A and B are shown apart, each in its own frame.
Chain A
Amino acid sequence: MLGWLIRRVLQAALLVLATTVIVFIGLHFVGNPIDILVSPQADSVERLRLTKALGLDLPLWRQYLRFLDGVAAGDFGISFVYGQPALRLILERMPATFELAGAAMVIAVGFGIPLGLYAGLRPESPASRLVMGASLFGFSLPAFWVGLMLIFCFAVRLGWLPSSGRGATVSILGVRWSFLTLDGLRHLILPALNLALFEISLVIRLTRAGVREVLPQTFVLFAHAKGLSDTRVIFVHVLKNILIPVITVVGMEFGSLIAFAVVTESVFAWPGMGKLIIDSINLLDRPVIVAYLACMVVIFILINLIVDILYMVLDPRVRK
């Protein structure tokens, strides 16, 4: 177990390193940040000063070594645009994104599992067909468009919910959370729903497929034969078995929720990492882009690790 863990950590470190190399080289070819950052009135003297100040006068490999040197000391460099440590800028925004992704996950599981269960138990009923049909829309509609439609309906036309921003927040241990205030919660509903749409559909389909697969199996027949009630069979024996694939996929999806929050965040002006990264890409703010992608890789790896461990806890067959 320990050896497995060490191997995973080493793999992760290599992956992060590879990512930074690719991003570093890629960004170098996109363009020169000086041309975007410098004031339009700047002359050549000013451009030269900036090039030196940002360390862009060095050859790329030396820039990269300097970057690695900093990373070893926990410093991902200073944002070109904001003049603040890139990692701090990202960490400051991380809670907002995690909150959004977390809320989306809760919605996805809260709606997805019951609906999927229903559709699996009564596959022929019109309601099930409706659910399955609707889930197709959830898969195929672009999040960007759905977001605008949600704003249009619930914020502009009906005026029930605010259209953008995070609302009032409560600070716990120095981190601001908005789901703890009524105003914050109202701000959270639309973006979280928008982000959850795809995941709801995914969970519905997974659960339904799981139920259809598990129902005909002999242990279910045996449970019925033992005289257990229908509810007990479904909610204890069937549910336990279908939960394994659902948790695996949902866990993996949590990573993409965080990464895909970019679109939702920009439509709803949610002050998370996604909004920051979009602006940073437009301004070629290299340190922030590199630090963001490195963070993303670490998050993905951590999630995979947690999913693997959960899998072992839930499924005794894997532990052997």
Chain B
Amino acid sequence: MRNRSLTALLFGAILTIQPLSAYAEDLVMAVKAGADTADPQYSSLSPTISEMRNIYETLIAGDAKQNPTPALAESWKAVNDTTWEFHLRHGVKWHNGQDFSAKDVKFSLDRVPQAAGPASYLMYTRDIQKVEIVDDYTIRITTPHPAANLPSSIGRIFIVNADVVGKLKGAELNDPAKAIGTGPYKFVSWTANDKMELTRFDDYWGGKAPWKNVTIREIPNDSARMSALLAGDVDFVNQVQPADVGMLEKRKGIKVFSGPSAFNFLLFTDMRKTSPKVTDKAGKPLDTNPFLKPEVRQAISESIDRQLLVDRLMDGQGSVATQAVPEGIIGYNPSIPKPVYDPAHAKELLAKAGYPDGFGVELTCTSDRLPNDGRICEGLGQFLTRIGIAVKVNAIPRSVFFSKRAAGDFSLFMHGWGTVTGETSQVLEPLLHTNDRAAGAGSWNVYGYSNPKMDADVDGANQQIDPAKRKAMLEDAMKLVVSDRAMIPLVNINTITAARSDKISDFTPRLDEDTLPWFIKPAK
């Protein structure tokens, strides 16, 4: 205590010259990753989307649990199997005072190919055959075949101002006069890799946002981001590391908000005839692939104590996964039971499959992508070793992991996945559908899993306009991949954010991990 007052006395002078920029109405956030560009249609990756949502809006938004909510479209319906009609919101103003109307929507949907960056929105517009303006507030979209995903797909595309944007794209939109949206915040400035500055749009149709000025700073280094919060440089941080939660919760003046995210860890086994990284115990390559035996896959699943992974390796910040998506996502099947943990039985299963002494395999994971990925990988290695499988754990940077994964270099690998669209088809179609280049399905499934029944469910769901039937098909597909053990679900990851409690009273974590200022409630 004496120390403190001495400090205050001696350095009061320094404190008084601190700039008075931190007004109560202003919010400074620090995020792990920020936008890649100022063009809202350039990148469909979460960090860019999360920042763009401040300035631009989509036809359909999602609530914290990813349920679709009306945004620029007030309602939408299927007129027939191949035609969708969207009724647009009246009285929406652009930041420059112009009225929002159907021509902006058509312009924006047509612009997607020109604006496309590496992670483009082209997958979302592929089903569009024609966009027609019926009147100023009605738009009609025709598809070549029934496309149940259309609303959720085009609902993700940011709508830009037809008059202002014209032929501009990419960095040309990094200008307050050009970055005109309809969102709750107006663009002030943006610097790649550094920060975005926003100011409130007072004529926003959804009512005034709580913070007047918002600064979103990009601080990728986890310790640096936490220090910025503790030092009071920022009011809110995202992507808190699970290991830091205990320390933050004990600190006065800091609040931690933790909740389920759309991200989880799934374990995949190679299902091709032969597999590159399996050997016998002596290290000689095997000419058959043990993972083709269902008993081996079951044994692997039963050897893992998932609750222990959550409690010890994830510091309690997660939950046991029963399937490929966490609860709340459309197509999550509530009838699937919790996976069994029974290492003794797992050993028996291995023996039954013809591997009483186990075999050798390399387990590959990322080491720098999602919280604790490397640690969980090591934990898995130990579980598998206990039932006799000699595991070589190989946790590698994502820049190397993804290339090797796509090249089919793995035999057993853990993949983190986020179902950010809120629909199971986003995980089932690319990861588990039979690899079919012509149809564009199963693009990540180069490891040979194929179940025609599950393909039929996923394909059928894509064409099924009736939401109830569609949900039933996706739930059935989920049941099939779980009982096939086409992937072995491990754990769901929590999204953790933290804030200074003198400025922020509450925040509801979202499944998609977006941190939107108007969901951050000011204190008082």
Contacts and interface: CB of A to CB of B under 8 A. Distances in A.
A267 B193 contact: no
Nearest to B402: A35
B108 to A, nearest CB: 18
B36 A269 contact: no
Contact of A36 (B219, B225, B228, B398): B398
A39 B14 contact: no
A164 B227 contact: yes
Interface in A146-180: 148, 151-152, 155-156, 158-160, 162-166, 168
B286 interface: no
A69 interface: no
A81 B48 CA distance: 11
B480 interface: no
A236 interface: no
Among B30, B42, B220, B233, the one with the most A-chain Cβ atoms within 10 Å of its Cβ is: B233
Given A40-B417, A165-B217, A281-B399, A151 B227 contact: yes
A35 B443 CA distance: 11
Interface string B101-122: 0000000000000001111101
Contact of B123 (A39, A84, A163, A269): A39
Contacts of B421: 41
B118 A84 contact: no
B50 interface: no
A97 interface: no
With most chain A CB atoms within 10 A of its CB, the pick from B37, B44, B224, B403 is B224
Contacts of A32: 402-403, 406
Nearest to A183: B19
B248 interface: no
A47 B402 CA distance: 13
A315 interface: no
B394 interface: no
Interface stretch (A117-125, A224-232, A250-258, A271-279): A271-279
B35 to A, nearest CB: 10
Contact of A269 (B192, B228, B406): B228
Most-contacted residue by chain B among A31, A36, A45, A166 (CB, 10 A): A31
B440 A44 contact: yes
A151 B225 CA distance: 11
Given A45-B440, A156-B227, A164-B228, A30 B400 contact: yes
B74 interface: no
A271 B218 CA distance: 9
Interface in A204-227: none
B137 to A, nearest CB: 30
Contact of B14 (A40, A41, A54, A160): A160
Interface string B8-35: 0001001101110100000000100000
A49 B39 CA distance: 19
B468 interface: no
Contact of A43 (B123, B170, B171, B218): B123
Interface residues of B, number: 65
Interface in B165-220: 170-171, 191-195, 217-220
Interface string A59-93: 00000000000000000000011111000010011
A284 B399 contact: yes
Contact of B443 (A44, A163, A269): A44
Contacts of B17: 182
Contacts of B218: 269
Contacts of B39: 83
Contacts of A127: none
Given A156-B227, A164-B227, A89 B123 contact: no
A46 interface: yes
A30 B221 CA distance: 23
A244 interface: no
A38 interface: yes
A223 to B, nearest CB: 44
A305 interface: no
A284 B418 CA distance: 22
B78 to A, nearest CB: 22
A284 B398 CA distance: 10
Contacts of B368: 282
B511 interface: no
Give 4 nearest A-B pairs by CB, closest first: A43-B440, A31-B403, A37-B118, A155-B231
12 contacts: A35-B406, A38-B119, A41-B421, A46-B123, A46-B440, A81-B36, A158-B7, A158-B11, A164-B233, A182-B17, A269-B220, A271-B194
